[in-house]
Amino acid sequence: MATIIIFALIVLGVIFGLSRMRKEKTSGCCASSSLEKEVKVSDRNLDHYPYKTLFVCEDMICENCTRHVANTLNKFDDTYATVNLQSKQVTVYTKQKPDVPALQRALSRSGYPARLMH
């Protein structure tokens, strides 16, 4: 009887693990049901952004993470952020001198602390 219970628990664990892997593969590690909607930036012409700030955000591990980081920063006025998942680099273009601590606070509050690259 104990063997049957242990076997049933193992089967349930395998089923749960496989369903979790399938979910992560389709919707990312952030366990959301779909990709977060992109915050649209009206001005994507980099010539209009004289300031460029680089951050490293080690906590990003999927496309949903990168979208969340970009959205967090693109909500700031006159800001255009791009994110590279492979290098974990976040590039923030601004039209005015950037408030780096405010950008870092916003990222930390959204769950993705970042450090400034020098």
Per the DSSP assignment, residues forming a β-bridge with 90 are 55, 83
pLDDT value at residue 32? 54
Residue 66's pLDDT band (cuts 50, 70, 90) = very high
What proportion of the chain, given as a percentage, has pLDDT over 90?
A: 66
| Helix/strand number for the chain, H first, E second | 3, 4
Q: What is the CATH number of domain 46-116?
A: 3.30.70.100
Identify which of 94, 87, 83 has the alpha carbon closest to the alpha carbon of residue 53: 94
